Amino acid sequence: MKTIISKRIISEKNIAKKLLAVSLLSAAMLSFTACGKKEEPVTEEPTTTEATTEATTEDPHIGENYNELTGEWSKDYEPHRPIAVMINNLKEALPSSSTKQADIIYECMVEGGITRIMPIYSEYSELEKVGSVRSARHYYINIANEYNAIYVHYGQSKPAKKMLDKGKIDNINGMTYDPGFYRDDSRVAPHNAYTTGERIIQGISDLGYNDKYAENHEKVLSFNEEDTDLENGEAADGTIHVSFSSYSQPYFIYNPEKKVYERYEYGAPQIDNMADENDNILTFKNIIVMQSSYECINPKNDLQELTQVGKGSGYYITNGKAIKINWSKSSKKSKTKYTTEDGQELLLNPGKTWFSIIGNSDQAGLSFESTTGEITNGVFTPVSTATDDASTEAASEEQTSEAAQ
């Protein structure tokens, strides 16, 4: 009996040893397999916060519209065609009315060395008094057409009349649409013709013009997203002298606190008599001075032709600096292109812009006067003209009517 029990105990011990050996062998094999297996990289899913941040990067201009005349965004602005108004710039006609509310102003020479200005407005419905309004010139019509503007004027030269009769531009003319204008008895004719935003809107309706941009409309100017200083260029932090003739020599003085240029005419600030008297000087973020050429096409009244088709040079002035630029226009119907000296598209700073188109005579020019009194003259390259079928239409034409003087 003892022998049997003893053998059973030995047998059970042997079984236990075998089971232990098998367990150790299995563990060893598992360990070997695990050591030989390449560990897979763990990929973490992006957190909900990270994914949401990337997916919801907001457009800073949501709910706003872009004003292509100033490069600014606004919730209050609704894109539509602007108006371009011919405004008197003679000394006896100043101060003008509502010029400070314009987004862009062009100044070109007309007869006798005087200049006329053309403010362009993106918003005009609330203008209470605009003027004094003067007669059209054919090269101003070409400029207004670049912006798809409705042209407002009182009278016209003969070259301009030919364009108007051919329907070259939508226009409101005081000679043919009397309800659009009124005479201010406190001023002497012909410096007393004025209009209002309400009259202009009524004229657009009465004359059947569409105030919406055409689908194929293209903008003229390009802007930086935000105010940007020029990296290079010469100092323009003092007075900018622009000369058209011996009679017309306006200038701009830089205001470093507001980073704008204040306009001066006939030795005094050029003001808007409809603006607050504490803020009535015309100011501009950008100034573009273009050199082209003027030619007298009628000695009787010194009627001028302005070269617009071709290539030329100029200066872009902003934030106390100026750089040389180039301009080009392939035809009377095309838009003027502006580039830097290295051929890149010119980007303006958001804000208002003044254009001065000077000639290439001895009396015309541009100079920069520093705050210390040092003067540097602008240097221009010769204007290169191109052939355009419409370029000779104005030759040997006379003006019409007293209102066109």
Q: Residue 53 has what pLDDT? A: 47
Q: Residue 176 has what pLDDT? A: 97
Ranges of the chain with pLDDT below 50: 1-40, 42-43, 48-55, 389-392, 394-405
Angle between helix 158-165 and helix 138-146 axes, rounded to 10 deg: 50
Q: Residue 12 has what pLDDT? A: 47
Q: What are the two backbone dihedrals, phi and then psi, of residue 34, each rounded to the nearest 5 degrees?
A: -65, -40
The pLDDT tens digits of the residues spanning 128-154 come to 999 999 999 999 999 999 999 999 999
Residue 69, token pair as written in the block: 């005349």
Please give the domain boundaries of the chain with CATH numbers for all domains.
79-206 (3.50.90.10), 234-396 (3.50.90.10)
∠ CA 375-381-387, nearest 5°, is 145
The pLDDT tens digits of the residues spanning 164-220 come to 999 999 999 999 999 999 999 999 999 999 999 999 999 999 999 999 998 889 999
Q: Residue 59 has what pLDDT? A: 85
Q: Residue 384 has what pLDDT? A: 87
Contact between 104 and 85 under an 8 Å Cβ cutoff? The reply is: no
Reduced to 3 states, what is the DSSP secondary structure of residue 160?
helix
Q: Residue 6 has what pLDDT? A: 43
Q: Could you give the CA distance from residue 58 to residue 80 in angstroms, rounded to a whole number?
A: 26
Contact between 175 and 400 under an 8 Å Cβ cutoff? The reply is: no
Torsion of CA 306, 311, 312, 317, to 10 degrees: 100
Q: Residue 388 has what pLDDT? A: 58
Q: Could you give the CA distance from residue 363 to residue 231 in angstroms, rounded to a whole number?
A: 31
Residue 362 neighbours by CB under 8 Å, 6+ apart = none
Within 10 Å of residue 152's Cβ, how many Cβ atoms?
A: 31
DSSP for 356-368? EEE-SSTT-EEEE
Q: Residue 123 has what pLDDT? A: 97
Contact between 195 and 182 under an 8 Å Cβ cutoff? The reply is: yes
Q: Residue 215 has what pLDDT? A: 86
pTM of the model: 0.83
Q: Residue 387 has what pLDDT? A: 60
